[in-house]
Amino acid sequence: MAQFSNDQLKTIAVMTSGGDAPGMNAAIRAVVRLALSNGIKVKGIFHGYQGLLDNQIEDLSTRMMANIIQKGGTILKTGRAPEMHKPEARKKAADHLKSQNIDAIVCIGGDGSLTGAHLLWKEHGIPIVGVPGTIDNDIYGSELTIGFDTAINTAMRSIDQIRDTAASHDRLFIVEVMGRNSGFIATWTGLSGGAEEIFFQQNPVTVDHAIEHIKRGMARGKMSSILVTAEGEKPGRAYDLSEAIRKKSGFEAKVCILGHTQRGGAPTALDRVLASQLGAKAVEVLQNGQCDLMVGIMKNEVCLVPHGDIAQNKKAIDLKLVKLAQILST
């Protein structure tokens, strides 16, 4: 586990990066309040890595953390910064941190953001601790990421509403959820919403299989069905699916793309508790002189995962949940 000399830990910075996720504010609050109460100054980096490149850095106070635990989004703003893939950008980022006398960072974000953190440590010795914050829940080493629980509850509530109209009109619906590279939201939303089939990149379910499933249901008098799909590279995969089903079976499916509604809203209690625990642990870890690792959660215990392992491993989706959704929706 990477170590740094923490006797000079006077100032830390906190940032959010990548897609926002409900609960990020609760994590920021935990970092700021714990660090300040331990005598460490805290700065906020605004707009993620892009803000770091643009030197958008300001002091944070404990009062600024008032009334944010219940808010979605991130008060620090966020962004995606493809420029950070370039070594010269990472050098610029490190120079800004040094000129601002920032001794260490807590970075709240997804796997891309934590990979960036790993490179800043390896190339420039910037001590960073990561906190998993993404609605996708696709970070290796942590059973849950901040924002996932809120997102799946939002999506599940939408499916419940769609089910009312689907049943009233005897219609087939395809509901598209987020997760361009990952099927956790689709799987959990599909199972909790009673969907017939769940589509995502790593799941081998076919259009033919879904049609057979729908037909079997119809033979038993089931007149409405709901399929859930994760978005593809760009939102809109549900339309392709609907077209493929129409061509092969003649069934007309209504499409509903939930999109960014899943990223907003007040975080659930689970996300607030998770964010508070992980944010506080990140500060503790830095005070112990440990870095280049993420604080995660495994079997209800906070755990530490080297950043290097995150980039090299993929978190697997439990396909048994997908199978269970199929069985229970017959």
Backbone angles phi, psi at 37, to 5 degrees: -70, -20
The count of residues in the chain is: 330
User: 4 vs 200, which CB is nearer to ligand F6P?
Assistant: 200
What is the crossing angle of helices 269-287 and 148-169, to 10°? 160
**One character per residue 20-59, x = contact with ligand F6P (rule: CB under 6 A):** ----------------------------------------
What is the crossing angle of helices 184-193 and 148-169, to 10°? 50
Pairing of strands 197-199, 225-230: parallel
Q: Min. distance of Cβ 107 from ligand F6P in angstroms?
A: 15
Q: Using the Cα atoms of residue 221, residue 219, residue 249 and residue 255 in order, give the sign of their dihedral.
A: positive
How far is Cα 182 from Cα 200, in angstroms, rounded to an integer?
Answer: 7
* Cβ atoms of 227 and 116 closer than 8 Å: no
Following CA atoms 198, 202, 205, 208 in sequence, which dihedral angle do they give, to the nearest 10 degrees?
110
Q: Is 135 in the site for ligand F6P (CB under 6 A)?
A: yes
Residue of 20, 111, 136, 149 marked active site: 136
Q: Which stretch binds ligand F6P (CB under 6 A): 37-45, 133-141, 189-197, 305-313?
A: 133-141
User: 316 vs 327, which CB is nearer to ligand F6P?
Assistant: 316
Q: Indicate if 136 belongs to the active site.
A: yes
Within residues 230-289, the interface with ligand F6P by CB under 6 A covers 231, 263
How far is Cα 292 from Cα 101, in angstroms, rounded to an integer?
Answer: 19
Q: Which stretch binds ligand F6P (CB under 6 A): 4-12, 134-142, 188-196, 284-292?
A: 134-142
Q: How many residues form the binding site for ligand F6P (CB under 6 A)?
A: 10
* Cβ atoms of 177 and 231 closer than 8 Å: yes
User: 113 vs 225, which CB is nearer to ligand F6P?
Assistant: 113
Q: Which stretch binds ligand F6P (CB under 6 A): 131-139, 242-250, 309-317, 318-326?
A: 131-139
User: 29 vs 263, which CB is nearer to ligand F6P?
Assistant: 263
User: 196 vs 231, which CB is nearer to ligand F6P?
Assistant: 231
Q: Is 137 in the site for ligand F6P (CB under 6 A)?
A: no
How far is Cα 41 from Cα 34, in angstroms, rounded to an integer?
Answer: 10
Q: Is 74 in the site for ligand F6P (CB under 6 A)?
A: no
CA distances from residue 100 to 56, 60, 80, 108, 119 in whole angstroms, order as listed: 11, 14, 22, 20, 20
Q: Is 136 in the site for ligand F6P (CB under 6 A)?
A: yes
Closest-by-Cβ residue to ligand F6P is 19
Q: Is 114 in the site for ligand F6P (CB under 6 A)?
A: no
Q: Using the Cα atoms of residue 107, residue 59, residue 271 and residue 150 in order, give the sign of their dihedral.
A: negative
Which residues make up the interface to ligand F6P (CB under 6 A)? 18-19, 134-136, 178-180, 231, 263
Catalytic annotation, residues: 136
